[in-house]
Amino acid sequence: MKKLLVTGSSGLIGSEVCIHFARLGCEIHGIDNNQRAVFFGPHGDTRWNQNRLQKTIKHFVHHEYDVRDRDGIIKIVQEVKPDVIIHTAAQPSHDMAASIPFEDFDTNAVGTFNMLEATRRYSTDIPFIHLSTNKVYGDAPNEIPLVELEKRWDYADKQFELGIPETLRIDQTKHSLFGASKVAADICVQEYGRYFNMPTVCLRGGCLTGPNHSGVELHGFLSYLIKCNLERKEYTVFGYKAKQVRDNIHSYDVARFIEEFIAAPRVGEVYNIGGGKENTCSILEAFDLISSISNIPMKWKYDESPRIGDHICYYSDLRKMKEHYPNWQITRNLSDTFTEIYEAWQSKKH
């Protein structure tokens, strides 16, 4: 039985990973201290997810640690002796980072470094999977020429017809402080892989989503948007005519890719993980889709000021992932994902 250590185990990706690998017969150790509730208040609380894991997974052990606790992290890795480490813990909001810069950098950059060094001291042979972000590219995607369509922006340059590749630069551009702290983490994960020959990977996520997301206004785009629709609450759009585009990937498909990587790990790799072009939508298109599912008109208002570091159009070029791991593919399309999130919010209401 493989033993997994998952940080951020009560979050969207962390909890999905725990459930997925438990079904494969793995022993799961989760690290989480519900810091999301500190960052976002009661609506960001993830204890319900922790309770769900403890009730539904036979071989699940919860560890109440903070990734910023260097000595504690080194100790827990030595004690658990995992076969795989999956690092999903983060301060995830690029809007919030500017108001809590020390907490953001200490969580994202230093916390990741703590995990890497704890792993190296224990073993340089076990896979280390890090959930990075497309925000490591900063404003670079916004420099690509765009075409304006009726309800979305899209790339005018044929070079990016299938999305953003991993070769796009990540420096000499504005990121938001969140993006900068995640760049630091991303580079460290690559460096530990290359310098110490460790099987590490950075998964630069597009819009990661799913029914177990505690979506709030500052993080969790689709989850929060669908919650607003269901509660008939006004949703605020910031800039770009509400035509900004994201690719959306269900958390299950993220867990499936991690499974493939663990089976055939590579050293110091980087992948853009998202739904790809087929699973893109703009905010306007998201409004239309959820309204068609719920039969509730979307209430929204427009603020002309775009969010700092926001991408006008971003979707992931999945060709490298599919070339390296041909057994992996997207299994949940956009409509399925919207429906699952809608039904999850419905069940919480009752």
- We report the CATH number of the domain holding residue 225 as 3.40.50.720
Confidence of residue 157 (pLDDT cuts 50, 70, 90): very high
pLDDT at 106: 98
For residues 244 and 119, what is the distance between their CA atoms, to the nearest angstrom? Answer: 39
3-class secondary structure, 75: helix
* Sole residue written with tokens 């499974």: 259
What single letter denotes the amino acid at residue 65?
Y
pLDDT at 219: 66
* Sole residue written with tokens 């190296």: 120
Least confidently predicted of 30-34, 105-109, 304-308: 304-308
pLDDT at 214: 67
Least confidently predicted of 26-40, 204-218, 286-300: 204-218
- pLDDT over 90, % of the chain: 88
What single letter denotes the amino acid at residue 229?
N
Number of domains in the chain: 1
Q: Is the pLDDT confidence value at 210 over 80?
A: yes
Q: Is the pLDDT confidence value at 59 over 70?
A: yes
Confidence of residue 241 (pLDDT cuts 50, 70, 90): very high
pLDDT at 11: 93
Range of the structural domain that residue 155 is part of: 3-349
Q: Is the pLDDT confidence value at 350 over 70?
A: no
Confidence of residue 309 (pLDDT cuts 50, 70, 90): confident
Report whether 311 contacts 142 (CB < 8 A): yes
Report whether 199 contacts 123 (CB < 8 A): no
> What is the overall mean pLDDT for the chain?
95
pLDDT at 216: 65
List, edge to edge, every strand of the sheet that includes 27-31.
60-63, 27-31, 3-7, 84-87, 128-133, 200-205, 269-273
**Tokens standing for residue 200:** 């590490």
The residue length of the chain stands at 350
For residues 24 and 5, what is the distance between their CA atoms, to the nearest angstrom? Answer: 15
For 62, counting Cβ atoms within 10 Å of its Cβ (0-12 exposed, 13-18 middle, 19+ buried), the class is: middle
3-class secondary structure, 47: helix
User: Which H or E run contains 236?
Assistant: strand 235-238
How far from 164 is each of 30, 183, 271, 317, CA to CA, in Å? 32, 17, 11, 5
Q: Is the pLDDT confidence value at 217 over 80?
A: no
